[in-house]
A and B are shown apart, each in its own frame.
Chain A
C-alpha cells in the first residue's frame, strides 16, 4: 500500500477519514487509529489535514525517468486542424503556452500534422509559435489516431520537449493518450488551469474531477515530457501579430498506412450555430418541456441576432434536441459573452461547462434553483411568459 501511516503518531482524531474522497480510510474499532484500504488512490488529501503528520507518501522515482528534467527542453502545442482549418483551441494554447514558456525561458513549438496544410503555418507564427514543426504525409490527410500518434511520438523522441499541450477535443483526446504511452509520459486530461514552477520546471495542471465537484492539482515530477489536454475556451485567444514569423522545420517521418479508413464525414450541425464557438447562447433545460417548445428559444436566439441554442443534459436525454447542443461536463464547454439559461436548474455538471461565460442570465420559476447562485441577472418567472416578452422587447429595441 502506498500511503504510509505511522500508528505511533496517529491519535485517532479521524480528520483524515472525513476528507478522503475515496472512502479509503477507516478507524480501527479497537483504538480508533486509522487504516487504509484498496480504494486509496494516493491523492494526498489526507496528508494535509493530519495534525500530527502521521500520514505520508513515498516520493515516486522511476529509474527510467531519472534526470529527464535536464534532457528535455521546450513547450509544444499540437496544432489541431480539421480539413485545413486550424481550431481555435490551438491559438488559445499558443497564448497560454507562450506565457508558460517565457517563465521557463524556452521556445514555443507548434506541431502541425496533416497533408498539404502549408496555409496553416503562417497563422501559427502570428499567434505566438516560435518554431513550427511540419509533418506533411498522405497518411495524415484524413485524421485517424494511429498515424497521428506515430508522427507525434517520433517528433517527441527526436526533439525531447518538456511540455506537450493539446486541445481536449475529440481529436486531441483520442490520439494523445497513445502518444503518452509510447513516450512513457504522464498525461493529465481536460485541464482548466495551467502554471509552471520555474524552480523544478514542473507543469502544475488543474482539472475538475468527480463531475466538477472538486478540482485536482496534478504534477508529473519525474517524467518528461509532461503532457496535458486543455479544454477549449478556458484560455483567451491571443490577438495575432500580423507578419510575425519564426522557424519552420519540415520533418520526414516514416508512417505506416492508416489501419482505420474514413468512409464518410457527416456534418450534423450544417444549418445551426455551433454552441462551442458562439458569442451568445440561449440554453434550455427540462423546464422547456418538449421539442416544440425549443422553438421559443430559437426565436429568442434569432431576436439576439443569431445566437446558438444550447441545452442541458436533461433536455438532450429526453430527446428534445440533439446531443451536439449539450453544454456541460459531458457536453461542450462554452465561454460566450452572454449565456441565457431557461428552465435549467444549474447542477454542477451543467455549471462546469458554462460558468466562465462573461454574463449569465437565468430564467427559472424556482427562486431557489442553484443556477441563480452563478447568474449575474436572475429572473424568477415562467419561461413561457418571460421569453416571449423578452423577444418582444428585443425586437422593439432594434
Chain B
C-alpha cells in the first residue's frame, strides 16, 4: 500500500498575540511546528503500516525551504519518503491553488497512492478546505473528520465525526481522509528515526517538475485575496467581585441574573 500524508508547517498559534497598542502581531520567539492534526494523520499512516508491513508512507509538504523541518520530523517518526514542494511561483496560493499544486505533486508519484491523508485543518488558516479540494482535483472520494480507520480487501472502514456523534462509513480505495485529534496519540521520533532524518538529503521539487500549469498556481491564480488584517474587537469587561464571602457572591449573582431577567 502507498499512503501519502500531507503535512504543513505552521506557527504555534498559542504564542501568536496581537500587540495591544500597535495592533500588530507579536511573534517574537514563536516557533514553527508540524500542524497538530497532521501529526494525527501521520500517526494513522504509521499505525496502518504496523498492520500492513508492505506499506510505503510518503510525506508531502508545500512551503518555504525551512518547511523541510516537518519532513525530517516525519521521517524521524517512521515515514519512508518525502517531497518538499517549494517554489517562489507557488507563493501566495490560497486553498484553491494550494490544492491544485498538491494534487499535481501527488500525480507525479509512483505508484499512485491508495490513501491520501490530511489533517482535519491547519491551525494557521483553519480552513479545512485543502483535503477535500485535493481529493476533488484527483477525483477521489474524501471523508472528512475521520478516525478509527480499518483497511481490508481494498476497502476502508472509517468513523466520521459530526457535531453530536459519528457515522461509520465504508469506501473503496483509493480515497482521501482528513483526520481528527480523536484518531490517536501521535508518537515521538525514535532514535533510529532521528538518525535517518539527519542523514536525509531533501532536494526541493519545483512547480515545473510536477507539471503545474502556471495559470493555476500562486497569487495570481488564487480566487481569494486577503485585503486587510485587523485585530478582533475587544469585549469589554463588567464587574469583578473579589475578597467577599463566596455565599454572598453567589447570592449577589442570582440576584443579578434575576434583575437581568435571565432566570
B91 contacts A378, C-beta separation under 8 Å = no
Give which listed residue, A174, A222, A259, A349, contacts B172 with CB less than 8 A: A259
Contacts of B258 in A (CB 8 A): 397
Report the Cα distance A280→B185, complex, angstroms.
33
Interface centre among A144, A170, A348, A352 (most CB of B within 10 A): A170
Q: CB of B260 within 8 A of chain A?
A: yes
B123 CB-CB contact with A under 8 Å: yes
**Given contact pairs A211-B13, A265-B165, A44 touches B222 in the complex (Cβ within 8 A):** no
Question: Could you say which of A2, A218, A359 has the most chain B C-beta atoms within 10 Å of its C-beta?
Answer: A2
Tell me if B128 counts as interface (CB < 8 A to partner A).
Answer: yes
Asked if A262 lies at the interface with its beta carbon under 8 angstroms from chain B, I say yes
1/0 contact string of A349-366 vs chain B (CB within 8 Å): 100100100011100000
Q: How many A-B residue pairs have CB under 8 A?
A: 311
Contacts A60-B220, A211-B16, A213-B25; is A269 near B91 (CB within 8 Å)? Answer: no
What 1/0 flags go to B28-63 for Cβ under 8 Å of A? 000000000000000000000000000000000001
Q: How far is the CA of A360 from the CA of B257 in the complex (A)?
A: 11
Contacts A186-B94, A210-B124, A214-B229 given; indicate if A379 touches B165 (C-beta within 8 A). Answer: no
- B88 and A1 form a contact (CB under 8 A): yes
Is the pair A359, B260 in contact by a Cβ cutoff of 8 Å? yes
Distance of B159 from chain A, by nearest CB (Å)? 8
Interface centre among B163, B171, B231 (most CB of A within 10 A): B163
Beyond A2-B219, A169-B163, A187-B129, whether A219 also contacts B169 by CB under 8 A is: no
Give Cα distance in the complex from A329 to B125, angstroms.
Answer: 11
Query: Which one of A178, A182, A221, A397 lies within 8 Å of B263 (CB-CB)?
Result: A397
- Give the contacts of A41-95 with B (CB-CB under 8 A): 41-45, 48, 57-58, 60-62, 65
How many angstroms from the CA of A184 to the CA of B63 in the assembled complex?
Answer: 23
Complex Cα gap A348–B257 (Å) = 26
Give, as a whole number of angstroms, the nearest-CB distance from B21 to chain A.
12
CA distance A96 to B228 in the complex (A): 22
In angstroms, Cα B156 to Cα A301, docked, is: 41
Chain A residues near B235 (CB, 8 Å)? 355, 360, 373-374
The verdict on A274 contacting chain B, using a C-beta distance below 8 Å, is: yes
* Interface presence of A376 (CB below 8 A): yes
- Say if the beta carbon of B154 comes within 8 Å of chain A: no
Provide the residues of chain A in CB contact with B88, threshold 8 Å. 1, 38
**Minimum C-beta distance from A68 to chain B (A):** 10
Q: Flag whether A199 is at the interface (Cβ < 8 A).
A: no
Instruction: List residues of chain A with CB within 8 A of the CB of B5.
Output: none
Given contact pairs A189-B127, A261-B169, A266-B165, A175 touches B132 in the complex (Cβ within 8 A): yes
Residues of A within 8 A of B243 (CB): 380
Q: Which of B18, B130, B162, B226 contacts A43 (CB 8 A)?
A: B226
What chain B residues lie within 8 Å of A169 (beta carbons)? 163
- The 0/1 profile, CB within 8 Å of B marked 1, for residues 183-221 of chain A is 011111110000000000000001011111111111111
**Interface residue ranges of B180-200 to A (CB < 8 Å):** 181-182
What separation, in Å, do the CA atoms of A379 and B245 have in the docked complex?
Answer: 11
Residues of A within 8 A of B27 (CB): 21, 23
Q: How far is the CA of A182 from the CA of B137 in the complex (A)?
A: 8
Identify the stretch in A128-136, A281-289, A382-390 within 8 Å (CB) of chain B at 4 or more residues. Answer: A382-390
Q: A186-B223, A210-B11 are in contact. Are A145 and B142 (CB under 8 A)?
A: yes
Give the CA-CA distance A19 to B23 in the complex, in Å: 9
- Given the known interface contacts A45-B229, A216-B229, A385-B246, the answer about A361 and B253 at a Cβ–Cβ threshold of 8 Å is yes
Q: Give chain B residues whose Cβ lies under 8 Å from the Cβ of A181.
A: 96, 99, 133, 136-137
Q: Let me know if A27 is at the binding interface, CB within 8 A.
A: no
Interface residues of A in 324-347 (CB under 8 A from B): 324, 329-330, 332, 337-338, 347
| A178 touching B227, Cβ below 8 Å | no
Report the separation of the CA atoms of residues A212 and B63 in the bound assembly, to the nearest whole angstrom: 22
Docked Cα-Cα span, A309 to B217, in Å, equals 45
A216: min CB distance to chain B, Å: 5
Set A23, A209, A274, A276: member contacting B124, Cβ < 8 A:
A209
Other-chain residue from B136, B170, B239 in contact with A178 (beta carbon distance below 8 A): B136
Closest 3 CB pairs of A and B: A186-B223, A211-B13, A42-B92
Given contacts A62-B221, A215-B232, A390-B254, 19 further A-B contacts (CB under 8 A): A1-B91, A18-B22, A38-B65, A44-B225, A144-B169, A174-B142, A181-B136, A182-B136, A213-B18, A214-B229, A217-B226, A217-B229, A262-B168, A324-B163, A330-B181, A347-B14, A373-B237, A376-B237, A397-B263
